[in-house]
Amino acid sequence: MANLIFISMLALKITTLFVFFITLMFGQAYQRTGKNIGISGGLSKDFANEQTNIHIGIHSHVAKHFIPEISYRNSTQYQTRRIETFGENQHFITPGVQLRARFLSTPGRRVRGICTKEFFDIALTPEYNISLNQPIENAFSLRIGLCIYQMKSGMNKSRRAWSYKAEPYYRHGFSNNGIIKSEIGFSLKVTRFEVYNFLK
């Protein structure tokens, strides 16, 4: 009996070591590096100025809750939103820095064997709007949003390399000439992270 127990324990250890080395040789478990780049796009309405605004931009996560960004912004009057009047629109370059803080998260749950959670972050983004084609004063604004995203367990490449975030927001302008007054909008952000397989 003692010999049988000894042989069983030895076989278990050998099997464990075998699985460990196979995982090291062929396994894939990805981690993010600090390098990343993302794109964003969105739409907003300024009802006071009767404007529709679209934007597209780039951003990068310098830290978890510190995200510099820069975007191109086009403001179109409701009455003249035909394509031939594109040159008459207001065009801006808008740099900003987004600061985030965790507001709420849902309880973790299993979906098809994968642990899934949703997160809600408060996002404050001071912005400076630089006019490209109108002789008007440049303007500061503040964007206040709710950043919504989902995280799933697992360390495969696609889950670690890509991030998708939705952000409904309110923007308030501080310029005296009122080129930005108050807007309600929505933005979608897609971020690509550099990853590496730490088992290799």
According to the model, what pLDDT value does residue 65 have?
84
Residue 19 has pLDDT above 50, yes or no: no
Q: Is 6 helix (H, G, I), strand (E, B) or coil?
A: helix
Judge whether 55 and 42 are in contact, CB under 8 Å: yes
Residue 64 near residue 85, CB atoms below 8 Å:
no
Q: How many Å apart are CA 38 and CA 61, to the nearest integer?
A: 9
Q: What is the pLDDT of residues 102-150, one digit of tens each?
A: 989 888 777 776 788 889 999 999 999 888 887 667 688 999 999 999 8
Q: SS3 of 148, please?
A: strand
Please give the model's pTM, rounded to 2 decimal places: 0.75
CA 22 to chain centre: 35
Mean pLDDT, the chain, as a whole number? Answer: 78
The SS3 assignment for 69 reads strand
Q: What is the DSSP string of 157-194?
A: HHHHHEEEEEEEEEEEE--TT-SS-EEEEEEEEEEEEE
CATH of the domain at 80: 2.40.160
pLDDT in the model for residue 21: 47
Per the structure, the complete domain to which residue 164 belongs is given by 2-197
Q: Looking at residue 49, what is its pLDDT?
A: 77
In the chain, how many domains are there?
A: 1
* Window from 68-72, 79-83, 120-124 with minimum mean pLDDT: 79-83
The mean pLDDT value for 57-78 works out to: 88
Question: Can you give the pLDDT at residue 4?
Answer: 47
For residue 69, count other CB atoms closer than 10 A to its CB. Answer: 20
Among candidate residues 87, 69, 50, 81, the one with its CA nearest the CA of residue 180? 50
